[in-house]
Amino acid sequence: MHELLADEAHRDEQLRACLRGSRRPIPIDLPVAEPERVYSLSSIRALCIKHRLRFLEGAYYKGAIPGQAIYGMRQIERRIGKAVTSYMIMAPSGQFKLCDSEVDPLLFVPIGGDRYYLVARWGNDLSPVRAFAFWVVRKPVNLAMAVVAASLLLTSVMPSSLIGDAVYPLLNGKRLLFLFWSFMVISGFTLFGWFAFFGQFSKDAWNSRYFN
């Protein structure tokens, strides 16, 4: 029994090493019984952009590999009758060893035709909360809309006495000037922070191996 457990543990470590050594997608011939686990590259890209995730080879992954992922890898190998050497992982950028240099991934194997089979998923990286939190950095138009919304909100809540009005009309000359001023200020701070901290939109970063 002890030798059997040792052999199983050794095999698990081999699978982990195999995943971390995967550097390029090599399609496998996998008979698919669960079509809901097959994702096209376009759907993976959409998920990555929506939830601010990256989709990279297993060699770049630096996070922990839980038992359920190892079990899924074993099941795949049993189904095809040979070892699998190519794995892709969808996870937040903090879980990857990015060049120039949150938090639970989805493990895939390529099955050809720009399709990927979901081997295991753990955590809640595809939660609606994450999608909402990173909506603003999906693409440039989202960031611009957020700046405009912040300017309108600031203008609407600013007391009239601070703008120089005796009353509180919703729109007048001074409030319109304050709206323009607040838009310029918020835009300036946003652009400064974006370039200072090497901002990347999700539509560009979803499969990038680079930090910036």
pLDDT of residue 150: 92
Please, are residues 178 and 158 in contact by the beta-carbon 8 Å criterion?
yes
CA angle, 99 then 55 then 137, to 5°:
80
Q: At residue 129, does pLDDT exceed 90?
A: no
pLDDT tens for residues 79-123? 888 888 888 888 887 777 654 434 457 888 888 888 898 988 876
List Cα–Cα distances, 131 to 64, 100, 172, in angstroms. 23, 26, 37
Query: How does residue 137 score in pLDDT terms, banded at 50, 70 and 90?
Result: confident
Query: Per-residue pLDDT averaged across 195-208, rounded?
Result: 75
| pLDDT above 90 as % of the chain | 8
Q: What is the pTM of this model?
A: 0.67
Residue 88 pairs with which residues in a beta bridge? Answer: 57, 108
Nearest CA among 57, 39, 38 for reference residue 47 = 39
Residue 212 lies in a domain: no
Q: At residue 75, does pLDDT exceed 60?
A: yes
Q: Is 105 in the same domain as 14?
A: yes
Q: At residue 70, does pLDDT exceed 70?
A: yes
**What is d(CA 47, CA 194) in angstroms, rounded to the nearest whole number?**
23
Last residue within a domain, chosen from 102, 125, 148: 125
Q: Is 121 in the same domain as 144?
A: no
Residue 194 lies in a domain: yes
pLDDT of residue 100: 44
pLDDT tens for residues 151-161? 988 888 877 76
Q: Is 81 in the same domain as 183?
A: no
DSSP per position, 117-184: EEEEE-S-TT-HHHHHHTGGGSSHHHHHHHHHHHHHHHHHHS-HHHHT-SS--SS-HHHHHHHHHHHH
Q: At residue 40, does pLDDT exceed 80?
A: yes
Q: At residue 209, does pLDDT exceed 80?
A: no
Q: Rg for the chain (alpha carbons), in Å? A: 24
Residue 29 lies in a domain: yes
Q: Which one has a higher pLDDT value, 201 or 197?
A: 201
**What is d(CA 148, CA 184) in angstroms, rounded to the nearest whole number?**
10
Q: Which one has a higher pLDDT value, 202 or 40?
A: 40
pLDDT of residue 186: 92
pLDDT of residue 149: 93
Last residue within a domain, chosen from 82, 100, 125: 125
CA angle, 66 then 208 then 125, to 5°:
40
